[in-house]
Amino acid sequence: MAGKVALLLWAQTLGFAGTQTTWIIVEPPWTPAVLWDRVTLTCQGSGTASATTWYKDGQRWGQQGCDRLTVTENGTYECNRPGSGLSLPMRVLDDWLVLQVPARPLLEGDRVTLRCRDRWNNLVTWVSFYHEEKQLVELRNGTELTLFPLQLHHSGRYRCKGWLKDREWVVSAPVTVTVHVPVANATITPGPLSHEVRAGDPVTLHCSVQVGSAPVTLTWLHNGQEVAQGPLLELRAIAVGHSGTYQCVATNQLGQDGHHVFQALSPELALMVTTWGHRDTAVAVNVGRTLLFLLLLLAVFGGCHCWHHHAARKLQDRAPMGVPQPCPTSGSTSDQRGAVRTQRGTVDPCDYDEVL
């Protein structure tokens, strides 16, 4: 019943790491990326790096088999891995004004900064931020907007507008912000959330995080008590004492970095350990051993009996000549009892070969 599992964590993109998908890691970790930052894209997915194929604006781009790409032109980039498919698109802009958000999953409770940037980092004044076309704030001497604590209603499309020297008012392209709630899950593969297993079987429990900013700490609870850490809880040669409920807790330790410290508790797993299979087998083995012992014991008794009679016959045969033998009594003839007699005495049933 042992199984395998991969830890599902977010990478520095808006995709899931650990699932059967391909995703792009962008450096610097802002989206959309801007050309004047010397952007590097790295393709992640199943298979080897030599199987990577890059696309720009839907057309094959760059050298085949390279998982890293230094961007020199603006456009929309994708990468492909044969085992996990095509990645989500990554935009690289060269606009006069760009609104950027962190290239990581945005969790409820996070501290998130949106920054409005002029091309080649020129001075921007009178910056306004908009959410779903509604103005949020206007800044005379600032280009950043901080959302804290981040809430689900902060999801949506954002823009910024700024006054650029000699260019008057410029509006950025829209950026979509999606706020996620951390979710943890615990499973036994395969099967539902209630399991009955036999004592002695190996069992592996798996914990995954669907959404969460790395690094994430995973802790296992057995009947509410902490027993282990990590994505896997391996119970080898499981015993009755392992019965009970199991949960995993996912926590984030990035609070000092400005990110939300979250705690997500998985649904409970009910595990029941039974010994009936092993008890029946043990009973069958014990019965077989008892019967074998009885058969051997009977064979030993029979052998001893025959040996005793052989020894008695040999002593009788060695008796000195002339010693009077007792006379047969009346009714001891062979036709009366069916007993076979010779000059040496009665034939022992163990000496059946002599009778023949």
In this predicted model, what pLDDT tens digit does every residue of 127-163 receive, in sequence order? 999 999 999 999 998 999 999 888 889 999 999 999 9
pLDDT confidence bin for 27, thresholds 50/70/90? very high
Vertex 205 angle, CA 273 and 238, to 5° = 30
Burial letters 175-185, b for 16+ CB under 10 A, else e:
bebebbebebe
Is pLDDT of 344 > 80?
no
Q: Would the pLDDT of 194 be above 90?
A: no
Q: For the chain, give the longest Cα–Cα distance.
A: 153
Evaluate if residue 7 carries a pLDDT over 50: no
Q: Is the pLDDT of residue 173 over 70?
A: yes
CATH 2.60.40.1120 fits 96-180, yes or no: no
Work out the average pLDDT over 15-27: 67
Task: Please determine, for residue 253, whether its predicted confidence score (pLDDT) is greater than 70.
Answer: no
Residue 320 pLDDT grade (very low, low, confident, very high; cuts 50, 70, 90):
low
Contact call for residues 246 and 178 (beta carbons, < 8 A):
no
The domain limits of the chain are 8-94, 96-180, 183-276
CATH class of 8-94: mainly beta
At 5 the pLDDT is 26
pLDDT of residue 114: 97
Q: How large is the average pLDDT for residues 221-244?
A: 88
Q: Could you tell me which residue, 310 or 229, shows the higher pLDDT?
A: 229
Query: What architecture (CATH level 2) is domain 183-276?
Result: Sandwich (2.60)
* pLDDT value, residue 37: 94
Q: Do domains 8-94 and 183-276 have the same CATH topology?
A: yes
Helix/strand/coil for 345: strand
What is d(CA 204, CA 198) in angstroms, rounded to the nearest whole number?
14
Q: Which residue has the higher pLDDT, 121 or 292?
A: 121
pLDDT in tens, 85-132: 999 999 999 999 999 999 988 888 788 999 999 988 888 889 999 999
Query: 304 falls in which pLDDT band (50, 70, 90)?
Result: low
Strand 40-44 and strand 23-27: the pairing is antiparallel
Q: What average pLDDT is seen over the chain?
A: 76
Smallest CA-to-CA distance from 53 within 45, 42, 41, 65 is with 65
| Predicted confidence (pLDDT) at residue 33 exceeds the cutoff of 50 | yes
Tell whether the model's pLDDT for residue 336 goes beyond 90.
no
pLDDT beyond 90 at 211: no
Residue 173 gets which letter from DSSP?
P
Question: Per the structure block, which two tokens stand in for 136?
Answer: 């949020």
pLDDT of residue 45: 84
Rounded Cα distance, 62 and 70, in Å: 10
Region 33-51: what's the mean pLDDT? 91
The b/e string for 248-267 (b: 16+ C-beta within 10 A; e otherwise) is bbbbbebeeeebbebebebe
Q: What pLDDT shows up at residue 134? A: 96
pLDDT higher than threshold 60 for residue 213: no
Which residues neighbour 63 within 8 Å (Cβ) at sequence distance 6 or greater? none
Would you state the pLDDT for residue 345? Answer: 47
